[in-house]
Amino acid sequence: MPATDLYRILGVSHRATDADLKSAYRRLARTYHPDVSPSPDANARFLKISEAYRILSDPGRRAMYDRGEPVTRQTTFYASRAAEVVAYQRKLDRVVDEMLAHERRETAARGHAVTIVVSLFISAFFVTLAKPMIIEELNVAGRVAIISLSLCGCWYLVKNLAVVLARYTYNVPDQLISVFREEAPRDKIMSRKAALVFLVSGYIVSLGLGYIVSRLAAGPDLAPGTLLGVFIYPPIAVLIMGNFRRIGGFLDRF
């Protein structure tokens, strides 16, 4: 075996499959790629990782490496060899760029999902805590405007929750529950039913906590306007926070 252990560089065993190698390469690229790592030796470290993956991902080169044979063909014309290395490096760069772009999209999607859910829970808490009287103090035109804004918020909330549920949850067929649990998708966090229970329970708990804190602080009793506000104000808060985050993400591109 050569002095440099390529398997050790990738952090895999000598029996690693192609999928194991690809997964290890992606995992290390997230840490050591020069575009994401502040370390001064990130470029050198990533070149070693890329070279290890280049050799081990090729069945012929891997077999030669495992037998202790040199993996560089000495008879290859230098210019052709250099072109081959450049082409392969470009291929690796494309893989890493696509992976990093995918990671950025996933991070943005998770952040947006958290913003939607947290905004819903916090706004529900503050409605029963502060008991705002906004709608009672408005004239007819103002009430129509705020109800219209709330309906837009409801549409925005339902649309985004549907996206979140589709992205991070899976359906469990009732007749195949015991079988399906063993084969739950790895990229899904929980079942659709569990997610819906979490959302409804979290909303109710947020309302209850706000009411309890309000009573402990000797706040006013619940008024009809407050009960109506439980359904009107949280969707507006979600709409505002979601669009603030979208605007922030848009500005970050510049």
110 and 74, same structural domain?
A: no
pTM score = 0.61
Residues 132, 88 share a domain: no
pLDDT at 72: 59
Beta-carbon contacts of 134 under 8 Å, excluding residues fewer than 6 positions away, are 146, 229, 233
Residue 210: give the domain boundaries: 106-252
Q: Is residue 16 part of a domain?
A: yes
Task: State residue 177's pLDDT score.
Answer: 47
**DSSP states along the chain:** --SS-HHHHHT--TT--HHHHHHHHHHHHHHH-TTT---TTHHHHHHHHHHHHHHHTSHHHHHHHHTT---S-TTS-HHHHHHHHHHHHHHHHHHHHHHHHHHHHHHHHHHHHHHHHHHHHHHHHHHHHH---HHHHS-HHHHHHHHHHHHHHHHHHHHHHHHHHHHHEE---GGGHHHHHHT--TT--EEHHHHHHHHHHHHHHHHHHHHHHHHHTTPPPP-HHHHHHHHHHHHHHHHHHHHHHHHHHHHHT-
Question: Looking at residue 109, what is its pLDDT?
Answer: 83
Q: What pLDDT is stored for residue 252 in this prediction?
A: 65
The enclosing domain of 34 has a CATH number of 1.10.287.110
Q: pLDDT tens track of the chain, all 254 residues?
A: 455 688 888 888 888 888 888 888 888 877 877 777 777 777 778 888 888 888 888 888 888 888 888 775 544 444 455 565 566 666 666 766 777 777 777 888 888 889 999 999 999 999 888 888 777 788 889 889 999 999 999 999 999 999 888 888 887 655 544 444 445 555 677 788 888 999 999 999 999 998 898 888 776 666 666 778 888 999 999 999 988 887 776 666 65
Asked whether residue 150 falls in the same domain as residue 215, the answer is yes
| pLDDT recorded at residue 192 | 87
91 with 197, same domain: the answer is no
Number of domains in the chain: 2
Query: Is 197 found in the same domain as 79?
Result: no
Q: Which of 97, 115, 143 is the last residue in one of the domains?
A: 97
Domain edge (last residue) among 63, 79, 97: 97
The residue among 232, 230, 219 whose CA lies nearest residue 138 is 232
Is there a single domain that holds both residue 115 and residue 212? Answer: yes
> Is there a single domain that holds both residue 232 and residue 192?
yes
The pLDDT, as a whole number, for residue 202 is 93
For residue 1, being part of any structural domain is answered with no
Last residue within a domain, chosen from 50, 70, 97 = 97
Q: What is the pLDDT of residues 166-183, one digit of tens each?
A: 888 887 655 544 444 445
Nearest CA among 28, 17, 80 for reference residue 72: 80
The verdict on residue 71 lying in a domain is yes
Same domain, 91 and 151: no
